[in-house]
Amino acid sequence: MRIIEAIDYEHMSSLAARYLIEKISTNPELILGLATGGTPEGTYKRLIEDHRMNGTSYKDITTYNLDEYVGFSPDNPNSYHAFMYKNLFSELDIQENNVHLPNGVAIDLVEECKAYEERIEENGGIDIQLLGMGSNGHIGFNEPGTSFEANTHLVELTQSTREANARFFTDIEDVPREAITMGIATIMRSKEILLLVSGETKRNALKELLNGYVRESFPASVLNRHPNVTIIADQKAL
Ligand SMILES: O=P(O)(O)OC[C@H]1O[C@](O)(CO)[C@@H](O)[C@@H]1O
What CATH number is attached to the domain comprising 209? Answer: 3.40.50.1360
Catalytic residue among 136, 142, 151, 165: 136
Does ligand 1 come within 6 angstroms of the Cβ of 140? yes
Domain containing residue 54: 2-234
Structure confidence at residue 150 (pLDDT): 98
For ligand 1, whether the C-beta of 83 sits within 6 Å is: no
Kindly report the three-state secondary structure assignment for every residue of the chain. Answer: CEEEEECCHHHHHHHHHHHHHHHHHHCCCCEEEECCCCCCHHHHHHHHHHHHHHCCCCCCCEEEECEEECCCCCCCCCCHHHHHHHHCHHHCCCCHHHEECCCCCCCCHHHHHHHHHHHHHHCCCCCEEEECCCCCCCECCECCCCCCCCCCEEEECCHHHHHHHHHHCCCHHHCCCEEEECCHHHHHCCCEEEEEECCHHHHHHHHHHHCCCCECCEHHHHHHHCCCEEEEEECCCC
Any atom of ligand 1 within 6 Å of the Cβ of 74: no
pLDDT single digits (tens) 66-121: 999 999 999 999 999 999 999 999 999 999 999 999 999 999 999 999 999 999 99
Q: Is 22 annotated in the active site?
A: no
ipTM summary value: 0.93
The answer, yes or no, to whether residue 158 has pLDDT greater than 90, is no
- Reported as a pLDDT band with limits 50, 70 and 90, residue 197 is very high
Number of structural domains (the chain) is 1
Q: Is the CB of 67 under 6 A from ligand 1?
A: yes
- Annotated catalytic residue, options 81, 103, 117, 138: 138
Q: What is the pLDDT of residues 199-230, one digit of tens each?
A: 999 999 999 999 999 999 999 999 999 999 99
The reply to whether 136 belongs to the active site is yes
